[in-house]
Amino acid sequence: MEPRLPNQGAAATGGRDDFAARLETEGLAILSDRPFTLTPRETALLSPAFSDGRAKNISLGAAQGVRGAAAAGASAESLAALMERFAAWAEALVSELAPRYAASLERGRTSFRTRSVDEPAASARKDDRRLHVDAFASQPTGGRRILRVFCNINPIGEPRVWLVGEPFEAYARRWFGRARRPWPGEAWLLRRLGITKAPRTRYDALMLALHDAAKLDKTYQRHAPRRQVSFPAGASWIVYTDSTVHAAIAGRYALEQTFYLPVSAMAAPEASPLRILEKMVGGILC
């Protein structure tokens, strides 16, 4: 079955490269017939008991291993194995649907989201119930895209619900003029202090400013254009979270894999936040 995109227009049919092109312009593809199926042993991991109670999610990264889990011994290994299996599944899925990305996909963290989306966030900036585009304070992308694969693995049929906002360009125009310019030497210092894992480019600083400005603006949060998108249990979705304005408002138990993708691997690089912001600034951003 053809993956379904919200706002799907006339361009619904076509070959493999079409998927990438449509994803790049529409931002989000819902796959209702590509579930990631848990084994009975993995299903036993769907419990808040495995969270350390502090981290937002349990996650797995190449360098640090499992983070945010309270589980020790066999359970920690099972959590790592589940996330590793999901990561490989997600990479195969994206490579199948968008073969042009396959050679350039870089795996980021894998997360196992055991908490209810309703739970209060540590701060407004960390509150993903507020509309935003993703930008990571400690993990600059240097212009690469943030492409994420989610699967709603809720065992009792609860949907995961998002709000999806306006197109990236409209969003960026709102905050662009108010974005703080980094002071000279800031990127170097952040790197030196180990706050960022790679140099924070002008692009990264601008994306972070757009992320923070939207989340901290109560009027925007109350009145900005949005539509509700519901992901049923068993659904998977692939989303460019750096260009899709989104907020998670309900749900529990999801798996998520982050990928980084160079703009040069895109079918339509002009749809990237990097190129859109460079057009607005009238110059190179990284």
Binding interface with ligand SIN (CB under 6 A): 113, 128, 134, 160, 241, 246, 248, 254
22 binds, among ligand SIN, Fe ion, none (CB under 5 to 8 A by kind): none
Q: How far is the CB of 139 from Fe ion (least distance, A)?
A: 13
Residue nearest to ligand SIN (CB): 128
Q: How far is the CB of 134 from ligand SIN (least distance, A)?
A: 6
Q: How far is the CB of 175 from ligand SIN (least distance, A)?
A: 17
Q: How far apart are CA 144 and CA 39, in angstroms?
A: 34
Q: How far is the CB of 255 from ligand SIN (least distance, A)?
A: 10
Residue nearest to Fe ion (CB): 134
Alpha carbon dihedral 15, 145, 7, 114, in 10-degree steps, equals: 110
DSSP SS3 for 118: coil
Q: How many helices (H) and strands (E) does the chain have?
A: 8, 10
Q: How far is the CB of 207 from Fe ion (least distance, A)?
A: 12
Q: Which residues pair with 30 in a beta bridge?
A: 4, 237
Tokens for 157, please give them: 């049929």
Q: Which is nearer to Fe ion, 134 or 278 (CB)?
A: 134
Q: How far apart are CA 205 and CA 107, in angstroms?
A: 22
By CB atoms closer than 10 A (0-12, 13-18, 19+), residue 267 is: middle
- The contacts of residue 180 (CB under 8 Å, 6+ apart) are 209
Q: How far apart are CA 237 and CA 253, in angstroms?
A: 14
Q: Which is nearer to ligand SIN, 134 or 212 (CB)?
A: 134
Please say whether the beta carbons of 114 and 253 come within 8 A: yes
248 binds, among ligand SIN, Fe ion, none (CB under 5 to 8 A by kind): ligand SIN
113 binds, among Fe ion, ligand SIN, none (CB under 5 to 8 A by kind): ligand SIN
Q: Which residues pair with 254 in a beta bridge?
A: 113, 152
Q: Which is nearer to Fe ion, 100 or 125 (CB)?
A: 125
Q: How far is the CB of 146 from ligand SIN (least distance, A)?
A: 9
Q: How far is the CB of 141 from Fe ion (least distance, A)?
A: 14
Does the protein bind Fe ion through residue 256 (CB under 5 A)? no
Q: Which is nearer to ligand SIN, 114 or 196 (CB)?
A: 114
Q: Which of 24, 26, 42, 134 binds Fe ion (CB under 5 A)?
A: 134
Stretch that binds Fe ion, among 10-18, 93-101, 131-139, 175-183 (CB under 5 A): 131-139
Q: How far apart are CA 211 and CA 217, in angstroms?
A: 10
List the 160-164 sheet strands across, edge first: 227-231, 160-164, 246-250
Q: Which is nearer to ligand SIN, 71 or 247 (CB)?
A: 247
Which residues would be at the binding site for Fe ion (CB under 5 A)?
134
